[in-house]
Amino acid sequence: MNSSAMRGPILIVEDDKKTASLVQLYLEREGFETVLAYDGDAALAMAQRHRPIFIILDLMLPVVDGWEVCRELRKSSDVPILMLTARGEEVDRISGLTLGADDYVVKPFSPRELVARVKAVLRRGRLRSTVERNILSHGALALDPEKRKVSLNDRPVQLTPHEYKLLKALMASPGRVFTRDELLEHLYPSGEAVIDRVIDVHIGKLRQKIEEDPSNPRYIQTVRGLGYQFEESSGS
């Protein structure tokens, strides 16, 4: 499988930082993006923030354990979950799969096998969704996440990687108000120090490319004192 075709990070939830770094290393060697969380609360927050394509979830976590994290995620998401734990009893494996996990790996583990398991689960998911690719569409504007293409009135729009990430985040949640800090996290998930006004620059350039009248935008609207939102109704 061509991992570069997968858009979005893999969230690694593991309180042992050495293990987390090892898993991250092997996944990134295969071309995957990754983000890390070291406890259950952080995992839930980062899952909402980064919209991962896959979650590797340790069960024995501080603050909120992996069982509860899985339970909470399954209330609103079908993101693939692989449970990673030192508990190998059959009852634990069955419990994890019953909660909605897609696979289960017991420590100690082979990092290569873990990566192979991740790829296998993602491959199954891609086969299921081939016919139902989720294209974001609002009026004359369309964004295809799989092909990473944007079109306006059926004509391609050339965006920079940052412009694309911002547009995708906004279009995926029409009507939701994103603060500048939230949008910065989509551009710089590793937490690089960047002033929040850089978002205004990117939004201004994005409007020049997708808005009929950038000074009176239809798609990307400013919410004064808060941030930006995508129009809630696509109209026609």
Contacts of 215 (CB under 8 A, 6+ apart): none
Residues 25 and 113 in one domain: yes
Residue 217 included in any domain: yes
Domain co-membership, 19 together with 107: yes
Domain boundaries, position 221:
136-230
Q: Are 97 and 155 found together in one domain?
A: no
**Alpha-carbon gap, residue 185 to 51, rounded angstroms:** 12
Measured CA distances, 163 to 116, 178, 189, 205 (Å): 32, 15, 15, 8
Percent of the chain past pLDDT 90, that is, above it, reads: 48
Q: What digits encode the pLDDT tens for the residues 183-215?
A: 888 776 655 555 667 889 999 999 999 999 999
In a domain, 93, yes or no: yes
Predicted local confidence at residue 193, as pLDDT: 53
Tell me: the pLDDT tens digits for 36-66? 999 999 999 999 999 999 999 998 898 899 9
Statement: residue 1 has pLDDT above 50: no
- Which range among 20-29, 68-77, 205-214 shows the weakest confidence by mean pLDDT? 68-77
173, 183 in Cβ contact below 8 A?
Answer: no
pTM over 0.75: no
Chain segment 148-168, per-residue pLDDT in tens: 889 999 899 998 888 988 999
